Structure 1
Amino acid sequence: MSSTIISILLLISFAIFIFYILKGGNLVIGFFVMAILWSIIGLVPFNTAIQKVFAEPALNYGPTIIYIVFGSWFGRVLVESGIAPAISEATNKVGKKRPLIAAILVIIVTAFIFVSAYGVGSVIAIGVILLPILLSVGVPREIALIAFSLAIGAPMYVNVVLYNQIKAFFPDAVYGGKYLQFGWTAALVQLAIVIIFLIVMSKKFKPQNAEENLKVIGASFGDDGQETKKVPYIAYIVPIIPVAMNMLFKWDAIPSLVLSVIVAMILTGKMKSYKETVNFINSTVAQAISDISGLIIFLMALIMFSGAATLNAQHFEPLFNAILPHSHLILAIALGVLAPLALFRGPLHVWGAGAATAAVLTGTGLFSDAFLLPLLYVPTLMAVSTDITQSWNVWGLDYMKVKSKDFLKYGVPVMWLVSIINEVLVYVFFG
């Protein structure tokens, strides 16, 4: 079978896969079936497929799973120790009399927490605290949810847990140095545009609707009789410790996250006794692993598909050589313009159909991993921020009783602008 026929069949199966995803198909099953199909269509020898598609990728992904576990644990510790709720409560007090200032503060606090926190469990735990604050100052439900989701997406450029997930596609990329300069700049761009979005939408803020909106989501903010745990103000710096340790001392994520957990426990009095320490660790670890159990299986299926795509990269190389612009600037701008193709797990979302795009682009050797990682991270983070297939966005839509079309109507244009700007930044830093 010629390479041309193979590449055509691979593209057909890829198109069917995208259709399957858009119809709401199960991603774990989809990626696993695609790994098998691409091994068969690409004429990968049986023993090679067993080793290079189903064994080695999963085994080599082990370190990344450890990063995800520790990141999820740290997110749980921030919530259960009282640090995240305390930061949120302080934000509410500061901005209570000025709705727009309060909303902006909530967005900044959200981004601050998710510099290091990660996982749907952490998002839910923080969301049930911060989203009612937004509603209580009169922000409409759909605007509150979009701003909150985009504020989570902004710091994901520097979130070491998520970075290590995408690094699986670009093993030669390095977290640190020039990447962190780009990451912080891109995060600030997204955060600034979210704040501008809130300023533009502030005319829709109606404090008189606050009580009604809170009833819709089943919340009664500030009226549940529960007091926020008191924590020392110095504990507010804990969310930034993991990134700071990498930037200042080049520490790996694992010791950085462990140190952050220990500091959080000491500052919030969770290490007063041996028994309390053990109970707190056991409960937060159990919750954290439960939060990410489904994600881990999904990533295993995804990385197997990535292995199959890598083995088939040679079939796409002539096609990519013919159609891909060899100019870093043109490619960066093109991906910014095409960024919405990352939505619905499309061909620019690396944790969707874009897994093949990433694997094939890497396999061609046309561009360096240092350039490709941020190039594909930008549209992927557009999806993480505003895609209705993203786990925490699904939760948010249900919790806030917001329609998908309203979420997309506000979120997509904002993130499209962010994506174009940040792709230009990719060229500035890595072109």
Structure 2
Amino acid sequence: METGIASTLIRKTVELGGDRPIITVALLNIVTAIIFTAMTGAGPVIAIGVIVLPILMSLGVPKAIAMFSFMESVAAGIYLNPVNFAQYRAFFIGVDEMPDFTLGWYAGRWGYAAVVISVIVCTVLTAIFLKRSKTSHAWAAQGRGTSEQKDAPLYTLVLPIVPVVLNIAFNFSVIGGFVIAGFAALFLCGKMKGSFKENCQLVNKLYYDGVVDTAPLVGFLLTLPMFNTVANYASPFFKAVLGPVMPKTELVVCILFAVLLGLGLFRGPMTLVGCGAATLGVLRGVASFSVPFLYCVFAIPTITVNIGSCITQSWVAWGLAYTKVESKDYLKLSIPCAYISGILLYVLTFVTMSGLGSEWFI
């Protein structure tokens, strides 16, 4: 964001779409999803949102639909985000356990398809919603200085996906990939032309801003081991009550979770960033399911339902205030998307993740 790469990507995408709103929406959804395979947290979402949302609304896209399209495409990118993958993986296994379950293995078998399905469903529903709505040009909010920012060099526009590519292709360190791509962006975009002291101050400021933007995530990761421990202690009691009715086959798990996707809203029992850790503990106690299968089963309500569709998500709450969209108007758009995407993703999960060998069980 400091180098202008993200904003340049978005402006070039809008130029490519021309004056055809649905083409621009589709291209922006793809670019936003790609950006958020490498960026996460409320700060980056807000920084990109103040660029994308005014552009969409200036094209006549109603504000509720513009917000829906943007937030769902953010969630689509999270399926391949290395930071989120590591965060959710910790619910199932320790850092050193099951070394074969890497982002590269997961992406090749499930992650890429999950992103594509999510972006397509979001874009198709946006087109349907647009056809049913009235065009509006009554929104005049401005992005934060985006019109004055100079375009980044075109050859630097690939840098946002470098950390993800390095990790998936070469199992390269996630932190190392971000450091390499970040410093490459600063150098290639001419942000490090000052003295050594000035460059040190710049890097220090960027690290500071990054920590502030991701502070809730850091706090969540610090409390996650405690939450998991409590869930393990509580799971025998939940098992005694819910064990007899919990599904014991992969097909039934996928069907039941697809039907109950709505329980991923409002930090419910289906999402890992809510009450889902207890549900996971019960499910693991009643039958032997593979870790990759369970990861995908819980990732769908956590990402598609909670991160993209729920008004309790921090950046969705920001978007409601920023665009002045009513919560009910947003949920009317996001819940159908959550169910359609979720059902397709559970079909994908059953096809690709069921019946794995014993090495995937723990």
Could you tell me which residue of structure 1 aligns to residue 125 of structure 2?
197
AA aligned opposite 1:187: V
Question: Partner of 1:351: helix, strand, or coil?
Answer: coil
CA shift, 1:127, in A, is: 0.4
What one-letter code is carried by the residue in structure 1 that aligns with 2:295?
L
Cα offset, 1:313, TM superposition: 2.6
Distance between the aligned counterparts of 1:168 and 1:363, measured in 2? 18
Counterpart in the other structure of 2:348: 425
- Equivalences for residues 343-362 of structure 1 within 5 A: 343-362=265-284
- The answer on 1:390 being equivalent to 2:336 is no
Contact 1:362 1:369 in 2 (8 A): no
Q: Does 1:268 align with 2:195?
A: no
**Matches of 2:285 and 2:156, distance apart in 1:** 45
| Residue type at the aligned position of 2:350 | Y
Q: 1:82 to 1:339 in 2, by over 3 A?
A: same
1:168 aligns with 2:94: no
Distance between the aligned counterparts of 2:342 and 2:313, measured in 1?
17
Superposition deviation, residue 320 in structure 1: 5.0
Tell whether the 8 Å contact from 1:81 to 1:265 is kept in structure 2 after alignment. yes
Task: Quickly say closer, same or farther: Cα 1:363–1:252, change in 2 above 3 A.
Answer: farther
Is 1:142–1:406's contact at 8 Å kept on the other side of the alignment?
A: yes
The runs of 5 or more residues in structure 2 that have no matched partner are 355-362
Partners of 2:17 and 2:62 lie apart in 1 by: 17
TM-score, structure 1 as length reference: 0.76
Match for 2:6: what amino acid? A
Unpaired runs of at least 5, structure 1? 1-78
Distance in 2 between residues matched to 1:136 and 1:389, nearest whole Å: 27
Supply the RMSD in Å over aligned alpha carbons.
2.0
Q: Does the Cα contact within 8 Å between 2:85 and 2:103 map onto a contact in 1?
A: no
Tell me: CA distance 1:272–1:251, structure 2 relative to 1, closer, same or farther (3 Å): same
Higher helix share: 1
Q: How many Å apart are 1:177 and its aligned residue?
A: 4.5
Q: How many residues align?
A: 346
Contact 1:110 1:152 in 2 (8 A): yes
Q: Which residue of 1 aligns with 2:229?
A: 307
Letter in 2 for 1:193: V
Deviations 1:44-68 (A, max 9, x none): xxxxxxxxxxxxxxxxxxxxxxxxx
Q: 5 Å matches for 1:12-411? A: 79-171=1-93, 172=97, 174-181=101-108, 182-204=110-132, 209-210=136-137, 212-214=138-140, 218-219=141-142, 226-273=147-194, 274-319=196-241, 321-363=243-285, 366-381=288-303, 382-411=305-334
User: What's the CA shift for 1:374?
Assistant: 0.8
Structure 1 counterpart of 2:358: none
**Contact 1:138–1:205 (Cα < 8 Å) also in 2:** no
Conserved 8 A contact 2:192-2:199: yes
In structure 2, C-alpha distance between the alignment counterparts of 1:364 and 1:355, rounded to whole Å: 15
Change (3 A) 1:206 1:105: farther
Letter of the 2:115 partner, please give it. A
Displacement of 1:158 in angstroms is 1.0
Cα distance between partner residues in 1 of 2:79 and 2:229? 25
CA distance in 1 between counterparts of 2:104 and 2:160 reads 21
Stretch deviating more after TM superposition (107-116 or 316-325)? 316-325
Flag the 1:165–1:142 CA change in 2: closer, same or farther, 3 A: same
The 8 Å contact of residues 305 and 356 in structure 1, kept in 2 or not, is answered as no
Q: How far apart, in 2, do the equivalents of 1:355 and 1:98 lie?
A: 44
Q: Deviations over 1:339-394 (max 9, x none)?
A: 11010000001111112112333455621212111111111111110100000000
Instruction: Provide the C-alpha distance between the structure 1 equivalents of 2:277 and 2:315, rounded to a whole number of angstroms.
Output: 21
The 2-side partners of 1:225 and 1:359 are apart by 47
- Aligned equivalents of 2:287, 2:275: Cα separation in 1: 20
In structure 2, give the amino acid aligned to 1:196.
Answer: V
Q: Distance in 1 between matches of 2:31 and 2:264?
A: 27
User: Retained in 1: the 8 A contact 2:248–2:286?
Assistant: no
- 8 Å CA contact 1:106–1:134 kept in 2: the answer is no
Residues 115-124 or 275-284, more deviating:
275-284
